[in-house]
Structures are given as structure tokens and as C-alpha cells.
Amino acid sequence: MPANRLVIENCALVTMDAHGTEHPTGHLVIAGHRIESAGPGPAPDGLTDVVRRIDGSGHLLTPGLVNTHHHFYQWITRGLAQNCNLFDWLVTLYPVWSRIDEPMVYAAAQGSLGALALSGVTTAADHHYVFPRGAGDLLGAEIRAAAEMGLRFSPTRGSMDRGASDGGLPPDFAVETTEEALLATEAAIDRWHDPSPASMLRIGVAPCSPFSVSSELLRSAATLARTRGVRLHTHGSETVQEEEHCRQRYAMTPTELLESTGWLGPDVWMAHCIHMTDADITRFAETGTGVAHCPSSNARVAAGLARVPDMLAAGIPVGLGVDGAASNESGQLGAELRNALLLNRLGSHREKALTARQTLRMGTMGGAQVLGRQEEIGSLETGKLADLALWKVDGLLHSSIADPVAALVFGAPAPLTLLLVNGAPVVADGHLVTADEDAIARTTRAQARRLATLAGLTG
């Protein structure tokens, strides 16, 4: 039986394929959950089983955005520690986060996922690493929220096994033992990981950071991930303090430590990677290790400016990340397009640092490469999954910008007329269709207040 078809036409079309193909006026045909064709002009004549035609006049059609780094649970601790650097920010918030439980994480995931979808995200990765004892099924809570929202999801089971008494940053009551962390990570893979084509859920292995985990956990987690065929994720080279910590404890730089424990390779991606030397960039490029660039969060905690132009020139896969909403209160990946472009122009490459199209590529195909899904998502090509975003660029804030890609990247956040995941609508006319935005707002506010009370942040 032929699949039902959806046709979008009369829109500007940016495919993000290997050739950078664009059509000032083009069309896209979806059959079931896959793209059947994409090209210039109107859709072909004679199509059958067309259940819907969308006139995309005044719109830009792109692949759905791919968020490569996040901490969903932080949605309910936004606005705290406003004037801290990263280490002070973490020391302030770890005791608060140690009070989270399953209802809080579920609500926070709903808020995070809703914000991502409304900014054009079709695939989201999350790094959850705080597991207080007796808190319930925290990873399961966000997996449930993602399934209900309808986004493609790559949660990573994080962990911390080095508390303050062992020279780590988090308090002792916020960490697990090495054995507990490894057993729980393997159980998460057993329970949830779906490696099948078109999978909506793929689990990753993600010890938190060099200053909160042991070298034993890093080494054993890498072995576990490769034995089970899943990807590896962690934070790397985020601050000067992190480098000092690694040199003092291990007599190595963060990259040297991670390489010594098996954490460089084409199945690995790391968040931030701000303080990278030429040698670090070379090793990442040689091993195919990916990077999640989080410009707004990096600025929020004064961590620094990543050398993204140099990474791209070296051939490193680079995607964009929102990072946790406690260090990026907007929670939206669409804003990271603009911030990545502008902030990188403050670096040594100045106005030649990034173009609008390079930035959009990081947010789409770059993210797909980082997550190992470039054959399925990240571009609008025949046979790929129907994950796409239709942006309105003919309104007051964008209509005088002739280049629709510049309108999207340089301009104000563009209204999202349609967001499809697997060919199914998640956003329509700027609103979620798979969830009640007002209900999520009420629930997240209530859970944020409950956490603040438990953590002693209220009078």
C-alpha cells in the first residue's frame, strides 16, 4: 500500500546536503516518515495519496535542528547563581540538584523539550548525571516526556563517583560509587537503547566530567559503551580551572587524560571544548571525536570562547548545544545559531570566523554527525527521515532580509510554522501540538518552587 504523502512547496529550501544545495523556490514530498523527494519548483504532477499540501510561500524550509548537549533537569533551577563562574556556579547548585526527584525531572524535561521544539529542534541529546538515592526513575521520567512530546531523543546516562572528600567538586551525597554507576548505566542500555533504523531513542554513556569522576570510571565506561555499541559523551576542556585540576591530579591536560582512558574516537562527543590547544584540535580531528558547541552557556558562566573555526577547518564534527537551562535560561537552540555566529566573530578570526550557512550546518548536519546519525537526519534528501522545520521569514522582523538563511541566523528568532518529526507534527503555527504549554508552565513553576523549598532557598 502506498504511503500517505505530504507536500510542501513554494518555499525557499536549504537541503544541507554535501553540496550545499539550495532552491530559492522549491518543494519537498514526504511519504510516510521519510522524504521522497526535494527539489526546485513545484512538486511533480501526478502524485497520488496526497493527504495535505502546504503552501510555503514566505517560508524557509530546513532540516530540523539537532541539540547535542543539554541537562533537562536544570529547567527548574533557572535564574540562580546569576553572577558565578562555572566552578562557583556548580558548588552553589549541586546541593540544590541533590534534592531532585522523579516528578521534578519529568516536569523539567517537559519544559526543556517544549522549549527545544518551539525553537526548531527535532532531535535532542540530554546528559543526566545527578541521581539522588530514593529519587525514583529519573532517566525514565525524561524518556517518557520525550516520547510524549514526539522528539527524537538521545539521552545519556551520566554519573559522578568523585565527591569532595576524594578531591572532586560535587558534595559526597550527590555521587554514586563506581560500581553503582556502571551497573546503572548498563541497565539503562538494556532497558531503553534502540539501535534500529529510524530509532526514536538511543542511549549513550556519559560520566560527567574530569573533576567529578575517577579515571577508573572513565576507563570502564568507555569499555562498556564499546562492548554494547553505544556512543560516549562527557564535558571536556571547559574551563581553565578544569585544566589546572587535571594537571595537579593526573599530571595531564584534560585531552591527555581523556585519551589515556579511551575517550577519543568517532563514537565520542564532548561538550564545550573551550580551552583546546593546537595539539588537542589535531588529536580530535585525527580520531574523529565530536564537539558540542554551547555558545550561550559558555558566556553565561564566563568559561571562554571555543575555537570553533579552527575545529571546523581541521575537520572536527561540531554541533550546537543549548546546555542546561540553569546556564542558558532561554533553553532554545534557535538562539544558539545567532549566538554562535556572533560570539565567534569576537575571536581571532573576526568577521571571517563563521558564515550563516556554516552556523546552520552546525545546527543540523553537524549535530547529526556528532550523534552518529548523519545517514538518517541532518539534511533534506531522498530517503532520509522526515525531520524538518518550516520557518516564517516574511513577517515584520525578517521580510526586508533578502537572504532567508541570513534572516534565520542573523535575525530575530523566526516564527515556526511547522515542525515535523518522522513526518508527524510537533509544532504548528508557533505552538506545541503534542503538549499543553500552559499546563507545562504551571507544573514546572510548581516543581521549581517545591525544589527551592526543599533546598532551603525560600524564607
Asked if 47 and 160 sit in the same domain, the reply is: no
Q: Above 80 in pLDDT, residue 2?
A: no
Chain-wide mean pLDDT for the chain? 97
Q: What is the pLDDT of residue 168?
A: 85
In a domain, 217, yes or no: yes
Q: What is the pLDDT of residue 174?
A: 86
How far is Cα 224 from Cα 271, in angstroms, rounded to an integer?
20
- In this structure, are residues 96 and 130 in contact, taking their beta carbons and an 8 Å threshold? no
* Lowest-confidence region among 59-73, 96-110, 235-249, 256-270: 235-249
How far is Cα 374 from Cα 376, in angstroms, rounded to an integer?
5
Q: Above 50 in pLDDT, residue 1?
A: no
Last residue of a domain, one of 345, 370, 395: 370
In a domain, 176, yes or no: yes
Asked if 336 and 191 sit in the same domain, the reply is: yes
In a domain, 438, yes or no: no
* Lowest-confidence region among 62-76, 123-137, 157-171: 157-171
Measured CA to CA in angstroms, residue 113 lies from 338, 345, 420 at distances of 20, 29, 14
Asked if 257 and 401 sit in the same domain, the reply is: no
- In this structure, are residues 270 and 236 in contact, taking their beta carbons and an 8 Å threshold? yes
Asked if 71 and 48 sit in the same domain, the reply is: no
Q: Above 70 in pLDDT, residue 7?
A: yes
Residue 446 burial by Cβ neighbours in a 10 Å radius (0-12, 13-18, 19+): middle
Asked if 409 and 387 sit in the same domain, the reply is: yes
Asked if 136 and 79 sit in the same domain, the reply is: yes
- In this structure, are residues 289 and 268 in contact, taking their beta carbons and an 8 Å threshold? yes
Residue 408 burial by Cβ neighbours in a 10 Å radius (0-12, 13-18, 19+): buried
> What's the sign of the alpha-carbon dihedral 253, 257, 259, 260?
positive
How far is Cα 27 from Cα 61, in angstroms, rounded to an integer?
9
How far is Cα 343 from Cα 335, in angstroms, rounded to an integer?
12
| CB proximity list for 149: less than 8 A, separation 6 or greater | 110, 113, 114, 117, 426, 432, 434, 435
Model confidence at 399, in pLDDT bands (50, 70, 90)? very high
The helix (H) or strand (E) run that includes residue 293 is strand 290-293
Model confidence at 233, in pLDDT bands (50, 70, 90)? very high
In a domain, 375, yes or no: no
How far is Cα 106 from Cα 145, in angstroms, rounded to an integer?
6
Report the DSSP pairing between strands 204-207 and 231-236: parallel
Asked if 355 and 418 sit in the same domain, the reply is: no
In a domain, 448, yes or no: no
Asked if 407 and 342 sit in the same domain, the reply is: no
pLDDT tens for 292-348 read: 999 999 999 999 999 999 999 999 999 999 999 999 999 999 999 999 999 999 999
How far is Cα 323 from Cα 124, in angstroms, rounded to an integer?
11
Q: What is the pLDDT of residue 375?
A: 98
Q: How many residues does the chain have?
A: 459
Asked if 389 and 292 sit in the same domain, the reply is: no
pLDDT tens for 53-92 read: 999 999 999 999 999 999 999 999 999 999 999 999 999 9
Domain assignment of residue 344, given as a range: 65-370
Asked if 22 and 128 sit in the same domain, the reply is: no
Nearest one of 411, 312, 325, 414 to 365, comparing CA atoms: 312
In a domain, 344, yes or no: yes
In a domain, 391, yes or no: yes
Last residue of a domain, one of 370, 402, 422: 370
Give the number of domains in the chain. 2
Q: Above 80 in pLDDT, residue 112?
A: yes
Average pLDDT for 423-427: 98
Average pLDDT for 33-47: 96
Q: What is the pLDDT of residue 6?
A: 98
Q: Whole-model pTM?
A: 0.98
Average pLDDT for 15-34: 98
Indicate which CATH number applies to the domain containing 150: 3.20.20.140
Asked if 335 and 420 sit in the same domain, the reply is: no
* Max CA pair span of the chain: 71
E strand residue ranges, 41-190 = 50-55, 59-63, 65-67, 121-128, 152-159
In a domain, 437, yes or no: no
pLDDT tens for 175-206 read: 999 999 999 999 999 999 999 999 999 999 99
- In this structure, are residues 280 and 255 in contact, taking their beta carbons and an 8 Å threshold? yes
Q: What is the pLDDT of residue 169?
A: 84
Asked if 73 and 58 sit in the same domain, the reply is: no
Indicate which CATH number applies to the domain containing 10: 2.30.40.10
